[in-house]
Amino acid sequence: MSKTKQQSKTKTTALKMPHRTAPLPDTLTPVPGYPTKLCIYKLAASSYWWVRYYDGKIYRRSTKTEDKNKAYAFAKKFYDEIQLKRAQGLAVTSKTRFEACAAAMLKTMEAKVARKELTQDTYDIAKLRLNKTVLPFFAGMDVVDVHYEKLEAFLLMLSHKGGAKGFGKENEQLSSSTVNSYLKLVRAVLNQAFKSRFIPAVPTFPTVNVADNARGYFGTREYSDLWRRALKLNGKQFDVRKIPDKNGEEGKGQFVETVKGNNKGRLVRRVRITHDLHELVLFMVNSFMRPTDLKNLQHKHVQKVERHGCKFLVLNLPPSKKHDKPIATMELAVKVYDRLTRKHKAAGLGVGVNDYVFMPQYSNRDYAYKEMARQFDVLLWSTGLGKCVFHGT
């Protein structure tokens, strides 16, 4: 026999041989008195009998015995265990539990954060919502049993006041966009289960009509009012005080200009307006930056450019919400940047490449951002152009 024919015969023989973990056909035996989908069998990799049951997916387990009668008894208990967990709405195996798939989904998100495809904040919010609201509702469930009716019940829970525990105020009605974000999180878990071949398909989800609420904006006159008022407020100090009503109950915090001897109500905090506020308003409008990017803006991210007689800045900001392209500013942003840098240098603050452009005195940039927000709150209150949220109170 030629070498080629011998190799072909060897391959054919190998293909006909069952895998060591596959059931030996001659040993497949249905359990008497039970559905034919419940059977015991042997395999080449073990001397024990094994039990197998098919119920939309295959469940198998070793009986840990070579005695056929004991294997029958084990198979019956195995079947009863599956039926009991099914009746209770629990997962038959731990790896197909909803929480196990949620943990796998979070691992996938962690990898995306490491690759800078997701922000850390996005991951933290997803983890918080899972632990506080989603997992308590779906705990112990098999992903196979998460159907439309269960998703509809979850939506009903979210739609009632206080339904989403641990996120926002306990008795606050969730907005439709927030409810929709919870459903997207559940869908992400079931997508993970589908990719792991635990479910044949992702179930149909109930729909939530999300209103298209465009963000507010300032017109030309309002913008002018803001930067002019910010200039006038520079150096002034304001109190946030909670003043009791006629029943002695504290209301929401309100701004009052700091005056010596004014002890009315409880002092929550004091806010001093700095020159940064005026420059911040001008710089944001002329640089097209998002407010949250201001806290991370360092001098090394700023490049001065002069082209065809026009001066502007090129900002190479750290990636944020998938935005990683340079920003070309308007010409006024150059003047603001130079003015701000001179003032900081005169005040003895750092203006090196690794120093921050806005409020460089604060190494904690989250705190710096809160300071910016508090000063802007005062500005909105003073101009009557917005609803104050009193950051940090």
Ramachandran area for residue 166 (φ above 0: left; ψ -120 to 50: alpha; else beta): left
User: Is residue 349 a part of any domain in this protein?
Assistant: yes
User: Is residue 321 a part of any domain in this protein?
Assistant: yes
Q: What is the dihedral of CA 110, 113, 114, 115, to 10 degrees?
A: 120
For 140-177, write each residue's pLDDT tens digit: 888 888 889 999 999 999 887 554 444 444 556 788 88
CATH number of the domain enclosing 300: 3.90.15
Instruction: Specify whether 226 is located in the same domain as 343.
Output: yes
User: Is residue 155 a part of any domain in this protein?
Assistant: yes
Instruction: Specify whether 373 is located in the same domain as 224.
Output: yes
The whole-number average pLDDT for the span 171-199 is 86
Position 15 confidence tier, pLDDT thresholds 50, 70, 90? very low
Instruction: Specify whether 241 is located in the same domain as 228.
Output: no
Supply 226's token pair: 């803001």
Instruction: Specify whether 228 is located in the same domain as 241.
Output: no
Q: What is the predicted pLDDT for the residue at 262?
A: 72
User: Is residue 200 a part of any domain in this protein?
Assistant: no
Instruction: Specify whether 290 is located in the same domain as 373.
Output: yes
**Cβ atoms within 10 A of the Cβ of 200, count?**
9
Position 36 confidence tier, pLDDT thresholds 50, 70, 90? confident
Instruction: Specify whether 370 is located in the same domain as 281.
Output: yes
User: 288 is in which domain, residue-wise?
Assistant: 220-233+273-383
- φ and ψ of 325, to 5 deg: -90, 145
User: Is residue 390 a part of any domain in this protein?
Assistant: no
Instruction: Specify whether 171 is located in the same domain as 308.
Output: no
Q: What is the predicted pLDDT for the residue at 393?
A: 46
Tally of domains within the chain: 4
Domain end among 54, 88, 122: 88
Q: In angstroms, rounded to a whole number, what is the distance separating the alpha carbons of residues 385 and 375? A: 14
Domain end among 88, 104, 137: 88
Q: In angstroms, rounded to a whole number, what is the distance separating the alpha carbons of residues 153 and 158? A: 9
**Packing angle of the helix pair 98-114, 120-129 (nearest 10 deg):** 170
